[in-house]
């Protein structure tokens, strides 16, 4: 049994600043009291301790409060990605069997029609129920459920337990260090593990989170110049925008700023060189929903001599390459207390690990010093602006259109987003690109929309008729 | 399963300095290679993976190497206190059933006669056996066994597992922070948890240990002035000697020096004030062998407004007061992943915890902000220079002398050591103080020797004839 993080942190350092957003801020004590009140209000609307509920909203303090309330209630939180289409959300709600959706007022239009839900405002204005808050949480309690796709294109609900999140946060601190005055800027979505893990670290470390509800290159660059923040999680595209802003303004990062943690795919080498000349340390990471954030990190001081590497595992983690070829390349496998125990819903029967090893599907190798290089992403994964896009998901949608006979999707390089998806189609009957785009827009998140749709006579397949996505571009 | 700390640290940061002693130093890679060689040499003399072995020597690099070799071999290390008498050591060797003693050449005279042993030199010069080092350790594997006394005076062998040590180190880092360039000065014995926990932290944190084989106030003060070290573990008596040295030399601590962790009993208030004016941050701690080092720590910034407090629990720990009286005072109980799973030998059957709570026997209370105050030590515990002395242990020895009919031991304040034991005796037949002292010297560690022996007609007892040690001084 481990302490309820929110209670324990409020007990240990009640008066430290926990959260800042625009001109407001909250101490750990205030966050705790507000979230307990919110938890009582959740009881008031009938939510019970341990319920599985879905939650959606922009990255604002109200969402943090609501998440902490759910954690006090030991609810399993299905973290809905507010960029998804109503159809995608409907799938997750059906698969997860969440009892209801707690939703920010401004996001109500995004919900599938007739979804059971409670608006944040109605909860915040509602009555309070009776509640005894547990002081301890078991390690195997599911804190969050995040959906991630895969080879089949059917998203899987990944469980992340108290133990997973704790192990991730403690392994991370052993790598990047900690000082009480550290402030972590969060401009990544709280529904992704990249954002939620910042909250977990804040509770465990006693550090402040400086929250943005959207990426604001000007304001964030100013924070970095002023040294108001010490850490930040970025993806390549947001890193570039910060570099660009600093360069334009001819300013450097404050010496108080310590580290950019760059996840969600590789960072181009020239970004690293530019960051270096702006006094901005960048640590590249490799991680995924199944590993509750980072599993490997490249120390900033190694960035230039190990270009392209994702670094070494964090202290409690292990990485191995399964069935390596003669160049040492094989499937990246991960083991450690941060690895998910498994899935929910239709994939609940699927083992997440084999003998404790998570087989990522990604292809990589370890160099002679043990540094990890990720060579090829699982299932032809497309990473666009830090979001994972699985070709099969888009293909599945396209194939439901009556005019489409065959569909193949792959990523192409894009200066702004890193990669974007494009689709190759074999048709049954004539249809316009615009018609297909309108069709997709109903069913897919915008960032998953194929940037280009190309009609062709046939798709490249192997002898077993398996689509060869890598050959689509040829 | 968690990584073998030594292998993992050598993999992650091979070239960082791990250990310094006098003019020598070793990187983590070097420590790993040397300790693997030493592990093979242990196999060469017949030690097997998982054996329970006893180990004794001064705090020198050879001892660190030997301990790490034992850890590679997953041996259970019975940590012998080299200040104990041969009789005391014989008890621990018999109780623990250690297969052999690994002993530093210079300590051989301390061993009871005819004890099976191997000298460090003979191991270091011996041949190597075959060994496959396990890359992972189970959390419940016993790393160390340390003997501690109690109410009965019979020392109990306390198990400290991989999980205990890990939880202690990670909880500590969440409290005091971490930077890669931190250097921890170790001048406390490695056979005590205060010293061994510095090694564990070094492996988990990747920090350097600056090792002393004895307390050298001049040299240590110079390290603190120069900022060559950032952290140090002290007891009140060693803290005072450093304060005195700095004051004499009219020097202050370097701004690079971060924290003194003060354990082994309370620190007098005027030491804190003196430390403050020397720029020396002091964090008072409360912990014990059963909690694998600190369980509560008073932040340096709270030291003056919470005078006498041992602070708040570390993040993963909980403290409660059992059966408090109307002033809120009761037995201090501790819970968390750092608490021992239990004992070995004749106390193996004894439960260490009740419903997960370790009942310390110490009396204390929590103030309205949740700060712990230790009011009275368990079993009339005497703390002398940071060493625990249990009156019953000394009484048991005195009672084996034919002239002694009744014995009562208690602590008196001592300017140098904090406390020292004195003995009150009722005699059967005449005997001199000198004769009794010579008798005790054979059976007791020097620091346990009664500073004074007083003959009396009767000892204070309650109705049930139980000795009232606190009334001895009256």
Distance CA A243, CA A249 (A): 10
- The confidence score (pLDDT) of residue A470 equals 78
User: Residue B87: helix, strand or coil by DSSP?
Assistant: helix
pLDDT for B111-121, tens place per residue?
999 999 999 99
Strands B101-103 and B136-137: unpaired
Is pLDDT above 80 for A214?
A: yes
Residue A203: its chain B contacts at CB < 8 A? none
Rg of chain B, C-alpha, whole Å: 22
Q: How far is B175 from chain A (nearest CA, A)?
A: 8
Report phi then psi at A248, rounded to 5: -60, -40
Mutate to test the interface with B, among A32, A170, A296 (most CBs of B within 10 A): A170
Residue ranges, CATH 3.40.50.12780, chain B: 171-376
- The answer to whether the Cβ–Cβ distance between B3 and A316 falls below 8 Å is yes
Distance CA A227, CA A279 (A): 12
- The confidence score (pLDDT) of residue A471 equals 83
Of the candidates A261, A206, A251, A253, the one whose C-alpha atom is nearest the C-alpha of residue A231 is A261
Q: How far is A311 from chain B (nearest CA, A)?
A: 9
Lowest mean pLDDT among A111-120, A381-390, B170-179: A381-390
- The answer to whether the Cβ–Cβ distance between B179 and A180 falls below 8 Å is no
Distance CA B424, CA B347 (A): 29
Is pLDDT above 90 for A452?
A: yes
Alpha-carbon torsion angle B302, B305, B306, B308, nearest 10: 110
- The answer to whether the Cβ–Cβ distance between B356 and A135 falls below 8 Å is no
pLDDT, chain B, mean: 93
Query: What is the interface size between A and B, counted as CB pairs within 8 Å?
Result: 63
Residue A2: its chain B contacts at CB < 8 A? 316, 337
Distance CA A468, CA A466 (A): 6
Between A208 and B418, the more confident residue is A208
- The confidence score (pLDDT) of residue A426 equals 92
Proportion of chain B above pLDDT 90, given as a percent: 79
Distance CA A232, CA A225 (A): 13
Smallest Cβ distance to B177: which of A136, A180, A335? A180
pLDDT for B318-342, tens place per residue?
999 999 999 899 999 999 999 999 9
Q: How far is A170 from chain B (nearest CA, A)?
A: 7
Once rounded to an integer, what is the mean pLDDT over residues B18-39?
98
- The confidence score (pLDDT) of residue A300 equals 75
Between the CA of residue A61 and those of A25, A26, A100, A111, B255, what are the distances in Å? 9, 9, 21, 21, 37
Mutate to test the interface with A, among B11, B137, B298, B315 (most CBs of A within 10 A): B315
- The answer to whether the Cβ–Cβ distance between B177 and A177 falls below 8 Å is yes
Residue ranges, CATH 3.40.50.980, chain B: 2-137
Lowest mean pLDDT among A198-207, B70-79, B263-272: B263-272
Is pLDDT above 80 for B153?
A: no
Q: Indicate if ipTM > 0.95.
A: no
- The answer to whether the Cβ–Cβ distance between A174 and B313 falls below 8 Å is no
Smallest Cβ distance to A2: which of B8, B312, B316? B316
pLDDT for A295-323, tens place per residue?
999 987 787 788 889 999 999 999 999 99
- The confidence score (pLDDT) of residue A38 equals 98
Q: Where does residue A361 fall: left (phi above 0), alpha (psi -120 to 50 degrees), or beta otherwise?
A: left
- The answer to whether the Cβ–Cβ distance between B313 and A180 falls below 8 Å is no
- The confidence score (pLDDT) of residue A299 equals 81
Distance CA B3, CA B9 (A): 9
Residue B11: its chain A contacts at CB < 8 A? 312, 370
- The answer to whether the Cβ–Cβ distance between B11 and A370 falls below 8 Å is yes
Are A446 and A461 in contact, with CB atoms under 8 Å apart?
no
- The confidence score (pLDDT) of residue A276 equals 92
- The confidence score (pLDDT) of residue B465 equals 67
Distance CA B308, CA B268 (A): 8
Mutate to test the interface with B, among A12, A302, A357, A366 (most CBs of B within 10 A): A12
Smallest Cβ distance to B3: which of A170, A180, A318? A318
**Superfamily (CATH H level) for A171-376:** ANL, N-terminal domain (3.40.50.12780)
For A292, the token pair is 């509750």
CATH class (in words) of the domain with range A382-471: alpha beta
Is pLDDT above 90 for A377?
A: no
pLDDT-derived band at A463 (thresholds 50, 70, 90) equals low
Are A103 and A56 in contact, with CB atoms under 8 Å apart?
yes
pLDDT-derived band at A473 (thresholds 50, 70, 90) equals confident
- The confidence score (pLDDT) of residue A172 equals 96
Smallest Cβ distance to A315: which of B12, B136, B315? B12
- The confidence score (pLDDT) of residue B249 equals 97
Distance CA B246, CA B238 (A): 12
Once rounded to an integer, what is the mean pLDDT over residues B269-276?
89
CB neighbourhood size of A226 (10 A): 13
pLDDT for B289-325, tens place per residue?
999 999 999 987 787 788 889 999 999 999 999 999 9
pLDDT for A15-60, tens place per residue?
999 999 999 999 999 999 999 999 999 999 999 999 999 999 999 9
**DSSP conformational letter for B178:** B
In terms of CA atoms, which chain A residue is nearest residue B296?
Answer: A12
- What are the residues whose beta carbons fall under 8 Å from the beta carbon of B109, sequence distance 6 or more? none
Triad A417, A418, A421: Cα angle to 5°: 80
- The answer to whether the Cβ–Cβ distance between B177 and A174 falls below 8 Å is no
Residue B9: its chain A contacts at CB < 8 A? 315
Is pLDDT above 70 for A465?
A: no
pLDDT-derived band at A464 (thresholds 50, 70, 90) equals low
Q: How far is A339 from chain B (nearest CA, A)?
A: 12
Residue ranges, CATH 3.30.300.30, chain A: 382-471
Is pLDDT above 90 for B378?
A: no
pLDDT for B398-427, tens place per residue?
988 999 988 899 999 888 888 999 999 999
For A359, the token pair is 């087989």
Proportion of chain A above pLDDT 90, given as a percent: 79
Q: Which residues does A contribute to its contact with B (CB < 8 Å)? A: 1-3, 8-9, 11-12, 135-136, 170, 173-174, 177-180, 204-206, 312-313, 315-318, 335, 337, 356, 370
Is pLDDT above 70 for B469?
A: yes
Smallest Cβ distance to B316: which of A3, A135, A335? A3
- The answer to whether the Cβ–Cβ distance between B204 and A174 falls below 8 Å is yes
Is pLDDT above 80 for B35?
A: yes
In terms of CA atoms, which chain A residue is nearest residue B174?
Answer: A205
Residue A173: its chain B contacts at CB < 8 A? 170, 173-174, 178
Alpha-carbon torsion angle B81, B83, B89, B91, nearest 10: -90
Is pLDDT above 90 for A246?
A: yes
Q: How far is B226 from chain A (nearest CA, A)?
A: 22
Residue A9: its chain B contacts at CB < 8 A? 315
Q: How far is A23 from chain B (nearest CA, A)?
A: 28
Q: How far is A181 from chain B (nearest CA, A)?
A: 10
Distance CA A162, CA A31 (A): 19
- The answer to whether the Cβ–Cβ distance between B318 and A3 falls below 8 Å is yes
- The answer to whether the Cβ–Cβ distance between B174 and A205 falls below 8 Å is yes
pLDDT-derived band at A387 (thresholds 50, 70, 90) equals confident
Is pLDDT above 70 for A150?
A: no
Q: How far is B432 from chain A (nearest CA, A)?
A: 55
Smallest Cβ distance to B8: which of A3, A178, A315? A315
Q: How far is B371 from chain A (nearest CA, A)?
A: 9
Give just the sign of the alpha carbon dihedral B391, B198, B59, B263. Answer: negative
pLDDT for B130-142, tens place per residue?
999 999 999 999 9
Is pLDDT above 70 for A110?
A: yes
Is pLDDT above 70 for A151?
A: no
Are A217 and A239 in contact, with CB atoms under 8 Å apart?
no
Q: How far is A292 from chain B (nearest CA, A)?
A: 17
How remote is the C-alpha of A208 from its chain's centroid?
Answer: 20
Of the candidates B153, B8, B129, B139, the one whose C-alpha atom is nearest the C-alpha of residue B68 is B8
Residue B204: its chain A contacts at CB < 8 A? 174, 315
Between A324 and B153, the more confident residue is A324
- The confidence score (pLDDT) of residue B150 equals 66
- The confidence score (pLDDT) of residue A380 equals 81
- The confidence score (pLDDT) of residue B162 equals 98
Once rounded to an integer, what is the mean pLDDT over residues B343-352?
94
Are B264 and B235 in contact, with CB atoms under 8 Å apart?
yes
Residue A8: its chain B contacts at CB < 8 A? 315
Distance CA B292, CA B201 (A): 12
Are B352 and B202 in contact, with CB atoms under 8 Å apart?
no
- The answer to whether the Cβ–Cβ distance between B315 and A178 falls below 8 Å is no
Of the candidates B172, B228, B235, the one whose C-alpha atom is nearest the C-alpha of residue B200 is B172
Proportion of chain B above pLDDT 70, given as a percent: 99
Is pLDDT above 90 for A230?
A: yes
Mutate to test the interface with B, among A1, A11, A162, A174 (most CBs of B within 10 A): A174
CB neighbourhood size of A20 (10 A): 18
Is pLDDT above 80 for A399?
A: yes
- The answer to whether the Cβ–Cβ distance between B178 and A180 falls below 8 Å is no
Of the candidates A136, A133, A128, A135, the one whose C-alpha atom is nearest the C-alpha of residue A37 is A128
CATH 3.90.180.10 fits B2-137, yes or no: no
- The confidence score (pLDDT) of residue B468 equals 80
Is pLDDT above 80 for A462?
A: no
Lowest mean pLDDT among A346-350, B388-392, B437-441, B452-456: B388-392
Is pLDDT above 90 for B264?
A: no
Residue B179: its chain A contacts at CB < 8 A? 177, 179
In terms of CA atoms, which chain A residue is nearest residue B369?
Answer: A11
């Amino acid at each position: 049994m481990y302490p309820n993080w929110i209670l324990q942190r409020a007990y240990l350092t009640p008066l430290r600043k926990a959260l800042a957003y625009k001109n407001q801020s909250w101490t750990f004590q205030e966050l705790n009291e507000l979230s307990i009140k919110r938890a009582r209000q959740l009881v008031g609307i009938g939510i019970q301790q341990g319920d599985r509920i879905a939650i959606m909203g922009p990255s604002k303090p109200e969402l943090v409060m609501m998440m902490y309330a759910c954690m006090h209630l030991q609810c399993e939180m299905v973290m809905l990605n507010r960029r998804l289409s109503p159809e995608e959300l409907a799938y997750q709600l059906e698969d997860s069997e969440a009892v209801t959706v707690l939703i920010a007022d401004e996001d109500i239009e995004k919900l599938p029609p007739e979804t059971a839900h409670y608006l944040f405002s109605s909860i915040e204005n509602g009555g309070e129920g009776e509640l005894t808050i547990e002081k301890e949480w078991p390690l195997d309690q599911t804190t969050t459920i995040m959906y991630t796709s895969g080879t089949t294109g059917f998203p899987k609900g990944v469980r992340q337990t108290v133990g997973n999140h704790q192990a991730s946060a403690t392994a991370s601190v052993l790598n990047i260090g900690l000082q009480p005055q550290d402030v972590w800027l969060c401009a990544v979505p709280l529904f992704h593990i990249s954002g939620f893990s910042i909250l977990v670290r804040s509770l465990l470390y006693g550090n402040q989170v400086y929250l943005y509800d959207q990426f604001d290159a000007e304001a964030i660059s100013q924070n970095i110049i002023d040294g108001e923040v010490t850490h930040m999680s970025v993806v390549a595209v947001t890193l570039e925008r910060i570099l660009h802003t600093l360069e334009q303004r001819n300013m450097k990062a404050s010496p108080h700023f310590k580290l950019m943690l760059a996840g969600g795919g590789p960072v181009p080498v020239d970004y690293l060189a530019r960051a270096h000349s702006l006094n901005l340390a960048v640590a590249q990471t490799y991680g995924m929903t199944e590993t509750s954030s980072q599993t490997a990190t490249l120390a900033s001081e190694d960035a230039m001599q190990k270009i392209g590497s994702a670094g070494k595992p964090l202290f409690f983690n292990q990485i191995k390459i399964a069935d390596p070829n003669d160049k040492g390349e094989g499937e990246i496998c991960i083991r450690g207390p941060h690895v998910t125990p498994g899935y929910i819903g239709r994939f609940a029967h699927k083992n997440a690990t084999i003998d404790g090893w998570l087989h990522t599907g990604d292809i990589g190798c370890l160099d002679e010093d043990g540094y990890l290089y990720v060579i090829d992403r699982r299932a032809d994964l497309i990473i666009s602006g830090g979001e994972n896009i699985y070709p099969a998901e888009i293909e599945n949608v396209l194939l439901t259109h009556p005019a489409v006979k065959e569909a193949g999707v792959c990523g192409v390089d894009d200066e702004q987003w890193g990669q974007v998806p494009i689709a190759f189609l074999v048709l049954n009957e004539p249809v316009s690109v615009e018609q297909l785009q309108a069709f997709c827009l109903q069913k897919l998140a915008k960032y998953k929309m194929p940037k280009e749709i190309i009609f062709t006579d046939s798709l490249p397949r192997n002898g077993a008729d398996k689509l060869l996505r890598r050959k689509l571009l040829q």
